[in-house]
Each structure stands twice: as structure tokens, then as C-alpha cells.
Amino acid sequence: MSLGNHDYQGIVDAQLNYRGDPRWNLPSRNYTMQFPLTKKNATFVFLDTSPFISDYYTNPTTPEMAIQLKNQHWQAQAAWLDAVLTSVRKNDPQGWIIVFGHHWIYSSKGIETDMENNIKPLLKTHGVATYISGHIHQMEAFGHEGHIPSDYFISGAGGKVPVQEPKRENAKDLPLRGVKQNYVGNIAGFFTADLDDDTLKVTYYDNNQTVLYTQSVARPSPLR
């Protein structure tokens, strides 16, 4: 679970302190979870991405968002992410690292330049296999062959059907980046992820559990 822009329109600390349901897992703005596989390990890193979106500071959607973001700075977030990824990779050079955040880097709407400029270089440096996000209310999958991360997944259609939004001007730059749009589902749905020592398999479903699309990710080759 990761904080998103709508959480910043309320009281973030109330969500961090909530203990009313054992299924609720939001221990901090940023945190990690580790899981043993058969021979390898997987580290999931959850990042609070709202402080990276510069527009939220200049054009907050609500007065409360301005208050909640006042003491949050992307530089601190990036420093935390860099330190965590450095530690994980030092202690587990062959393991999986998957990073989760609310805001996408690439989507059918274009490129989130704040995210691309300030987060993607860290993902590349530390051999992160994939970045998983939401924010946009549909399901999307991208490939970036020959790059790290090699894959990007969006799952934002679980609670709200898509809203028609115009594409950004920079959407035309996706092919220039070598980013390939493999799937876009503009219906309600979700995905599951199956992870073993060498492969991550992501499967998208509609709300009737019909399989819509599957994409597999290999553990980054420099780390095999």
C-alpha cells in the first residue's frame, strides 16, 4: 500500500496511525517488505511519490494538500530510496527488487517528467526489475527492452472506471524513449503477480476474472 495524491487531500498521519483493520498495512510513508523465494529473495519497496510531483506544490488541488505537503520534499524521498536500494543490493546482489509508488513514470497519457528525472535513475543504478504504480484509472503495461527497469505496470482500475483525460504533449516521446505500450485496459479490473527466482508474471483480469493480458519479466540479466 502506498500513499497517493488523494491521501494528501486528507490527514496523512491518520492513515499511518490507523490500526482498526489487520489488513491495513501502511506503517510509514516509505517502507520495505522482504520475502524469501526458493533460492533467491524479493524486496518490495513502497515509496510516497506525491512529494515528487512539483505541480502539487504550485497548484495544490485542495488547501489541505498544501498543508500536508509543506514539510515533505522529494530530495529527502530520493535520498531514502537511494539508501535503501544501496543497502538491499549490497546485502542481496542477486535478489529481486520491485518498487511500488502511486504515480506512474510512463502511461498512455504520457511521461511524468518529475518521476522520470528523479526516480528512474535510481531504479536503473540499483537494478530494479520493475516499477508498479496506479494513479491513472485503468490497467496498463509497458516494456522498455534493453533497459533497467525493463517493465512498468499500472493497476488503477480496481475502484473507479476510467475518466477521459487528454494525452500530454510528451506522450509522443514514448517511442523516442524506446518505451513500448503493450497493453491498455480501460475497464474495471485488477492484476495478479506470480514471482519465482527468475520470473515475474503479471496477469490482468476484468471484474469477471477473465484474463485480459499477461506479461512476464525476467530478473535483470546483470544480476543473474
- For the residues of 42-102, what is the DSSP string, one character each? EEEEEE--GGG-THHHHS-SSHHHHHHHTT--HHHHHHHHHHHHHHHHHH-TTSEEEEEES
Instruction: State pLDDT tens for residues 90-130.
Output: 999 999 999 999 999 999 999 999 999 999 999 999 999 99
159 has pLDDT over 80: no
CA separation for the pair 38, 197 (Å, rounded): 6
Mean pLDDT throughout 79-83? 97
Instruction: State pLDDT tens for residues 194-218.
Output: 999 999 999 999 989 999 999 999 9
Instruction: State pLDDT tens for residues 160-192.
Output: 766 666 788 888 888 878 899 999 988 889 999
CA separation for the pair 110, 141 (Å, rounded): 13
C-alpha cell at 46: 513502497
Q: Beta strand 96-101 with 41-47: parallel, antiparallel or unpaired? A: parallel
C-alpha cell at 55: 505541480
Residue 12: CA count within 13 A, CB half-sphere:
23
User: Domain 7-188 falls in which CATH fold?
Assistant: Purple Acid Phosphatase; chain A, domain 2 (3.60.21)
Kindly report the average pLDDT of the chain as a whole number: 92
pTM: 0.93
Residue that wins the pLDDT comparison between 168 and 6: 6
Instruction: State pLDDT tens for residues 21-32.
Output: 999 999 999 999
Percent of the chain with pLDDT over 90: 81
Question: For 127, left (φ over 0), alpha (ψ -120 to 50), or beta?
Answer: left
Looking at residue 168, what is its pLDDT? 83
Q: Does a cis peptide bond (omega within 30 degrees of 0) precede residue 162?
A: no
CA–CA distances in Å: residue 88 to residues 91, 120, 128: 5, 17, 11
